[in-house]
Amino acid sequence: MREKLLATRIASYLRINYPDVIFRFDTFADAKVSIGQARRAKEIHGKFNKGYPDLFVAQTSKKYGGLYLELKATKSVPNTEHTRRQAVIHEVLKKAGYKASFCCGYEECIKKIKKYLH
């Protein structure tokens, strides 16, 4: 399952099962943009632009300020420069008081969302 389809399915799940929870997907990473738009994104997003997690669930818990998930349509997280950069950003987010992790496939992502929101 490609990540776009995975994100669409997760968004649908969240809308149906948690209609009052605010969530946001980072769709910019998939966008085809001009060089000017890419420069603008770099200016406003800073050094954490590349590798920013796919999904933010804006629901606090007793322990966290929100949930960040990096969606993977693979069975495991690939060991690439990009995913290593994503892992570094996860550590920065964790130190800032957020829950952040990778999730592979629909079932794992839903399981992590349910666990966080309950």
| Domain membership of residue 113 as a residue range | 3-117
In tens, the pLDDT along 75-111 reads 999 999 999 999 999 999 999 999 999 999 999 999 9
CA 39, 91, 105, 79 torsion-angle sign: positive
Specify the pLDDT at position 24. 97
Q: What is the dihedral of CA 4, 44, 84, 109, to 10 degrees?
A: -40
Strands 55-57 and 67-72: antiparallel
Domain count along the chain: 1
Mean pLDDT value across the chain: 91
Supply the CATH number for residue 82's domain: 3.40.1350.10
In tens, the pLDDT along 31-60 reads 677 888 777 777 776 777 778 999 999 999
Residue 71's nearest CA partner among 104, 114, 25, 100 is: 104
pTM: 0.88
